[in-house]
Structure 1
Amino acid sequence: MKNIFLLIACAGLLFSCDSNAQKKSKEEQFPVQKTEKQWKKELSQEQYNVLRQAGTERPFSSPLNDIKEAGTFLCAACENPLYVTKNKFKSGTGWPSFDQPIEGGVFFSTDNKLGYTRNEVLCANCGGHIGHVFDDGPKETTGKRFCMNGDAMTFVPTKK
């Protein structure tokens, strides 16, 4: 009986890992760390709503929807490169859409705010909410649709 108790106790220790990495909040995992007061001071009200409060801008409201020229879309909070124009496509949804991000530019999380699980896309540098990724993108490329909020990004054209 002692051996069974000892075996159960050891198994419990093995399966109850509690490392510091697991204790960190989602926001603490990103290199750029600022207080909410700093973010509010640096971002517009619309940018703050999207990037820091996971809000969503109105569809068809972003001037970034119409950009076709070569360039890079950056995080509006920290200027981290997220997407390039060559991966942008017209999804008809009303938000800037891409079939893939710049490698290392985004971080993936889950969002259950609407009562079902969605794949959330965050800036890999500051943790700002940018949008969501869905599996209904162009089949001839990645099949992904990175549906982004224009308020979460800025655009820098490629220098000629």
Structure 2
Amino acid sequence: MSHAEQQLILAEAVLKGWITGDAKSYYESGVKSALADVMKVNKNYAQDMPINQAYIDGYFTGEAAFKTTLQEQLKQIWMQRYILQFMQDAETSFFEYRRNGYPVFPINAATSLNENNKNGIPMRWLYPGSETTYNRENLIEALNRQYDGYDEINKIMWILK
């Protein structure tokens, strides 16, 4: 877990009343830390748009400024976590999306590959095929206990219940 992710988790925890502290400070610290990591990227890979300290210092003006309502603040934190993890940690990014439903993605039912819910994004991954071969008895027990015996991507995983 990076410092940026930790700070964003703490910002959310403050907003939810789980810990004391200043959510805005944690939010800004997390975003600055994430941007500082991007600033280290070789400028040849930044498409001639490298991030510098002046960019980071001015980032919290305008749209990135910490909002005033609880729901807007949570959405900002969730979006920054999504951006932080995008293309870096797909599993965590997917789980976070499943946990909070943000960002909102438009779904085109005509092109959706979700066979059992053309208007929804899958809720979970299927168990790997190797489980059928090497752990069949426990797999069947888990499927019966959690998903009415059916390994289906639209069933809500236990950790989200």
TM-score over 0.5 (shorter chain): no
TM-score class normalised by the smaller sequence: under 0.3
Of Structure 1 and Structure 2, the greater strand share is in 1
Of Structure 1 and Structure 2, the greater helix share is in 2
TM-score (norm 1): 0.21
TM-score (norm 2): 0.21
Higher relative contact order (CA 8 A, sep 6+): 1
